[in-house]
Structures are given as structure tokens and as C-alpha cells.
Structure 1
Amino acid sequence: MIEIKDLHKSYQMGSNSLHVLKGINFNVKEGELVAIMGSSGSGKSTLLNILGMLDEADTGSYFLDNIPIKDLNEKIAARYRNKFLGFIFQSFNLINYKNALDNVAMPLYYQGIKRKERTDKALHYLEKVGLADWATHLPNELSGGQKQRVAIARALASEPKVLLADEPTGALDTKTSYEVMELIQGINDEGKTILIVTHEEDIAHMSKRIVNLKDGLIIDDGIVEQVRANSYV
């Protein structure tokens, strides 16, 4: 599903160049649940931005579902993001003046799907995350956990190949974090490929594989025995 080979990325900082990714080799098969870990400055956010087509590597190759992701203009990058990827953010990134249903339906609007089908699909995914009864509520009427569930429903609505979750439990308390991870594990159990960037060891061990980055290199990449979130909930 994801193939990355010898990926390098540098940023110009005044007169200096900061080499952030120093030759990343990384493959993800369909249906995997992978946690990417690393301290601040390890390169994990840069890697996630490249995977999400929000940034581009200087050298190396990136294939997503056998399609080369290289030299894309913004229009094509946006189309590929909408087709292939669902994003879950630490800060939820919901539109404050739109209710839960409209937030979930938003990616479908950009896909050109008609209003009734958008509404039906959005309601289906709100049901999937247990929030159908909250469809007409605005984000400021929802708890942190509910907001993240709406964000997960939105990420699923466009039926992407891959979910990219950037610190999805970072703004949540422990109990709510485990409830969100239980939902993410359930989505993965249905076959969805999911990558999670996290700095939390307990959250990482709820994945099936942990990749550790340090100073722009993968220093460890291994299968782990998955801890089920519902054993804590």
C-alpha cells in the first residue's frame, strides 16, 4: 500500500540546511496498523507530511497504492489526498460553525457527491462512531472525545485507502484516549490501513507494529503484540 525508498528531506534555515530525513526506507501493507514514534525533531512529523502529500521529499521515491507520488501540482495532490487519504488530527480540525453531520460530509462535497448521498453517508459514519444522535450539534457542544469521533467519521466518509492519524489522543484524557483507540482498532479490524504518529508508549502498543525514528532515521521497526484498548476501557 505504501512504499518509501531512500527518502531525504532538508529545510533551509537561513544560511544553514537542516537535514530532517536521512534516507528512510519504509513499507506498509494493506490492513496494517502502524505506530510511528520519535522524540521532537526525530522527523516523524515531516514523514507524516510527506505521506499525506502536504510536503514532498527532496530525493527518494514514494508509491501509494502503486501510484508514484512525485512532482504533483496542488490540484492533483488535493485530488489524490481526497481519494486515498483520511486525516485525523490532535486538534480535531472541525469547522466550528458547522454541525457534526456537515463536518463529516465536507470531504464528500469536494468529491462532487450530491447532497442527499452526502447526508446519508455522513449519517452512516456518525452511526459507526456512535454519534448519530449528535448529528445536529456544533463542535462547541461536544466533548473532546466526541469531537475526535466526528473527526474519525469525517476521515472515513470518503472511504480512503489509508488513515493518517497525527497524535489522535494527544488532547484527550486517558480514558477517552483508550475509547478512541478502541474505535481505531475496530476500524483496522475491518481491514483499513492506519498509521498513527504518537509519543505515548501505551497508545503505540495498541498498534500491531511500531516504527521508531531518531535523528531522521528509522532505528527500530518491529511487529508487537497488540494490546486491545478495551482491556483498559
Structure 2
Amino acid sequence: MIEIKDLHKSYKIGKNSLHVLKGINFSVEEGELVAIMGSSGSGKSTLLNILGMLDEADLGTYHLDGVEIKNLTEKTAANYRNKFLGFIFQSFNLINYKSALDNVALPLYYQNINRKERMERAMSYLEKVGLADWAKHLPNELSGGQKQRVAIARALAGQPKVILADELTGALDSTTSYEIMNLIQEINDEGKTILVVTHEDDIAHMTKRIVNLKDGVIIDDRKVKQVKALENV
């Protein structure tokens, strides 16, 4: 599903160059649930940006579902993101003046799906995350956990190949975090490929594989015995 080979990325800082990714080799099979860990400056955010087609590597190759992601125009990158990827963010990134239902339906607008089908599909995904009764509510009427459930429904609605979750529990208390991770585990058990960027060890162990980055290289990549999230609630 994801194949990265010898990936390098540097950034210009004044007259100097900061080498952030230093030859990353990394692959993810369809249906995996993977945690990417690393301290600040390890390169995990840069890697996530490249995976999300928000940035491009200097050297190396990135294939997503058999398609090489390279030299994309802004429009093509946006189309590929809409086709291949679903995003979940720590800050939820919901549109405050739109209802939960409209937030979930929004990615479908960019897929040129008619309004009736958009709303039906959005409602079905709100039902999936247990928020059908909150469909007409605005984000400021929802708790943090409910907002993240809306964000998960939005990520799923576009029926992406891969979900990229960036610190999805970072703004939540422990109990809510574990409830959200239980939902992620259920979605993964249905076959969805999910990458979770996290600095929290307990969250990482709720995935099935942990990849550790340090100073721009992968220092450890191992499968782990998955801790079921609800065991912690």
C-alpha cells in the first residue's frame, strides 16, 4: 500500500541546510495499523507531510497504492489526497459554522458526489461513530471526543485507501483517548490501513506495529502485541 525507498529531505535555514530525513526505507501493507513515534526533531512530522502529499522528498521514491507520488502539481496532489487519503488531526480541523453532518460531507463535495448522496453517506458514517443524534450540532456544541469522532467520520467518508492520524488523542483526556483508539481499532479490524503518529507509548501499543524515528532515521521497526483500547477504560 505504501512503499518508501531511500527517502531524503532537507530544509534551507538561512545559508545552512538541515537534513531532516536521512534515507528512510519504510513500507506498509494493506490493512496494517502502524504507530510512528519519535521525539521533537526526529523527522516524524516531515515524514507525515510527505506521506500526506503536503511536501515532497528531495531524493528517494514514494509509491502509494502502486502510484508513484512525484512532481505533482498542486491540483494533482489535491486530487490524489482526496482519492487516497483520509486525515485526522489533533486539533480536529472542523469548520465551526458547519454542522457535524456538513463537516463529514465536505470531502465528498470535492469528489463531485451529488448532495443527496453526500448527505446520506455522511449520516451513515456519523452513525458508525455513534453520533447520528448530533448530526445537526455545530462543533462548539460538541465535546473533544465528539469532535474527534466527527473528524474520524469525515476521514472515512471519502473512502480513502489510507488514514493518516496525527496525534489524534493529543487534545483528549485518557478515557476519551482510549474510546477513540477503540474506534480506530474497530475500523482497522474492518480492513482499513491506518498510520498513527503519536508520542504516547500507551497509544502506540494499541496499534500492531511501532516504527521509531530518531534524528531522521528509523532506529526500530517492530510488530507488537496489540493492547485492546477498552481494556484501559
In structure 2, how many angstroms separate the alpha carbons of the residues matched to 1:232 and 1:207? Answer: 14
Structure 2 unaligned regions, length at least 5: none
- How do 1:83-102 and structure 2 match up within 5 A? 83-102=83-102
Partner of 1:80: 80
SS of match in other structure, 1:140:
helix
Amino-acid identity (%): 81
The one-letter code matched in structure 2 to 1:111 is: Q
- How do 1:1-12 and structure 2 match up within 5 A? 1-12=1-12
In structure 1, how many angstroms separate the alpha carbons of the residues matched to 2:230 and 2:173? Answer: 15
Partner of 2:34: 34
The one-letter code matched in structure 1 to 2:123 is: L
In structure 2, how many angstroms separate the alpha carbons of the residues matched to 1:160 and 1:65? Answer: 11
SS of match in other structure, 1:202:
helix
Structure 1 unaligned regions, length at least 5: none
- How do 1:123-162 and structure 2 match up within 5 A? 123-162=123-162
TM score, norm. by length of structure 1? 1.00
In structure 2, how many angstroms separate the alpha carbons of the residues matched to 1:135 and 1:13? Answer: 45
SS of match in other structure, 1:108:
helix
In structure 2, how many angstroms separate the alpha carbons of the residues matched to 1:135 and 1:66? Answer: 36
SS of match in other structure, 1:39:
coil
Structure 1 position 215 matched with structure 2 position 215: yes
State the shift of 1:181 in Å. Answer: 0.2
State the shift of 1:54 in Å. Answer: 0.3
SS of match in other structure, 2:97:
coil
RMSD of aligned alpha carbons: 0.3
For residues 95-137 of structure 1, give each alpha carbon's deviation from its aligned partner in whole angstroms, at most 9, with x where no partner exists: 0000000000000001110000000000000000000000000
The one-letter code matched in structure 2 to 1:6 is: D
State the shift of 1:232 in Å. Answer: 1.3
SS of match in other structure, 1:112:
coil
TM score, norm. by length of structure 2? 1.00
SS of match in other structure, 2:19:
strand
Partner of 1:229: 229
Count, aligned residues = 233
In structure 2, how many angstroms separate the alpha carbons of the residues matched to 1:184 and 1:151? Answer: 12
- How do 1:127-206 and structure 2 match up within 5 A? 127-206=127-206
SS of match in other structure, 1:194:
strand
